[in-house]
Amino acid sequence: MRTKTILLTAAVCAAGVASSVAQVYSVNIVGYVNVPFTTAFKMVANPLDAPTNSLANTIKTPPPQSNFYEWNGAGFNIYVYAPASPAGGWTLNLSTPADAPFAPGGGGLFKANAPFTNTFVGEVRQGNLTNAYPVGYSIRSSQVPLAANANVLGLTAAFSPPPAQNVLKGNNLDPFGYITYTRGLPATFPPDGWSPSTPSLEIGEAVFINATVGGNWTQSFTP
């Protein structure tokens, strides 16, 4: 089998997502993505398919006392990284060892206790990908590591026909708030149905979806 190397470039943005280098072995694209964190709240996603898609396996050694907020449908389960505690590593309530699922397509809210850069390692998901979302609030992300707007990432199509559903992005100017993008009828929200503008996602960024009806966010990637 041929072995070749390709470069996947991630757009550098305010969130500071770095470029990623990937290698192709046959049809598998493996590599890494560096995602920097400040001490502000950050909506984060796992951009690559790891051998084990969990919080403990993908964000292994953040600064102690960093928090990960997992949405449970009604509120947050809060995980604390406490390597010096009796439980060690990721915990619930600083006493119970705990891990959270953290696969591409999902995500959570992260609060680092000090600035650091996390390296996500794994494969790029390929083929026809489906990411179901329920009625109400859920945290979702692109399953393909691509920095692009909602049209390119397939999120606009997921909201068609659009019954006034919302995407909430973390606000870099206000780490405790969100910017709401509404997908409505093109006649009401020109040019492509989004108001106040078409949202874009960076690699490693998650968003809240507030859906009036459940649906599927589908994507397709073939190298």
Can you give the pLDDT at residue 187? 67
pLDDT tens-place string over residues 45-83: 999 999 999 999 999 999 999 999 999 999 999 999 999
Sorting pLDDT into bands at 50, 70 and 90, what band is 28? Answer: confident
pLDDT tens-place string over residues 134-161: 999 999 999 999 999 999 999 999 988 7
Sorting pLDDT into bands at 50, 70 and 90, what band is 192? Answer: confident
Can you give the pLDDT at residue 46? 98
Distance CA 117, CA 132 (A): 30
> What percentage of residues in the chain have a pLDDT greater than 70?
83
